[in-house]
A and B are shown apart, each in its own frame.
Chain A
């Protein structure tokens, strides 16, 4: 699990050199080790409380898989992943709230009765009572929003910092909008106190364990899918667009489409992560999806290694873990440490911790050239 499986981007973009049998099985072996560790060992060793925390971190790791694809491979600085995380989360939470209300015989979710502004369910809540629709929406909704924004932006060749700022503004706009629509979205509090998950009570530790296992399986599947995407022709094209978009255009490809796919897939992954986050944590709120958490999604990937799938995932887990453990114990010191971490990881180790072995090796042989240019 801890061994880096994907080599830095530079190497992937050239044809794969012949590999020894040991090399060939390294990736599946690491993947298998990770699966055994997360599926078999973690539920046995960790307490219910810790397992639940791990489930939460793994949701962030799922977002990081998408970030690694869009930013690490595609060079798209996606600063608004919180939007897609939130759309998926809210779609799931809306269904679960409606199911909770139906279980207790109420017509409306509890917070709507509390604010008491309307006595009928808003029309856009109604379809979410259907579990299949709600589940589909957790992925379709984020992908649709990403496709729309991505299509408009990439088509006109708005790129680099402009794209980053627009995606960030989207995160700000969505969280402000959610806060403003308190009567139908729960406002600042968000959708809280979720009891059931498709008929299973979330208060039961056994069901919490089930949610954890679902999250692990989704994470592993998405990592495998992303890895296939990385080594496919499309993956090569994406790296080429990142490194020299104009040259790809001159070769006859349309870089806008290449970037759009990466952005939309990353959005879908974030949406799924948000949907799984809701049963694991029991809440979704604007504070979890605004500008600050959106940057947090990127930072985890940056610390671990943006272009390396395993690096990004481990980075996201580590940062989330450090955040929740250290921020309680040393709030002030943790903020300084966090700032310093961003500066060091992004500024001086652009390939992240995953590139550390390569950097050290290069420093020994040639002059230091750390990682790849962003």
Chain B
């Protein structure tokens, strides 16, 4: 290939990559062509050609900056937001689906509308605790701990939540703030007895758990920690799969077994819980045939 052909081929390649929005490779090819031209005995005198390529490099660089600075949370039409809520709510339970839809909006960065949806859920009495926690997480994700604190103060000043739930929300916010190194003077709520301190919302409060780690607190496996991905979840009941070759592990989960050290990982938070093995059965058909399906009911977080 002659020098001329080589330069032409590099420019062509750069053009096509640019059209494909493969901007980094496009820039590299233009630069390679420019170097060849500038070092060439006769082409280096062609100022027009050099200027053209330099201009193309500048354009590509500008495009790269534009893309780099483009917002990751564009304003979406109401129609598209409704679609997101609808497409990413997977539960058959209407209330849970409404919550999943609101969480999806938050995950797609539509925080204002997610906040509105969570507030609506609180108003409707649909999983108000979880909605409150998500409102706080939205504020925290927006790097606005002050807004989260202000929101909590507002709840304290109103009658939207019982003292028990306010205490629970307070602990949740306190921990979330501490994780960001913020020690805030949150307003105290009336002292509740240990029993009363538990949130009123139980089953509804747990949602979208991706995985759990369980520590055996007694028996031959005492101290051992195992981790499972959650394959199915309905309210506070989660299911996971134990492969057939881990029969010994499956045998350790006798129905009724109390699990007092469960760590739950969700996309929005990590929290500790307790629960009971509510079922263990061998899968007899389908691709998971032979494996074990383990059901755990989480009764407190």
The answer on A and B forming one complex is: no
Q: Residues on A close to B: CB < 8 A?
A: none
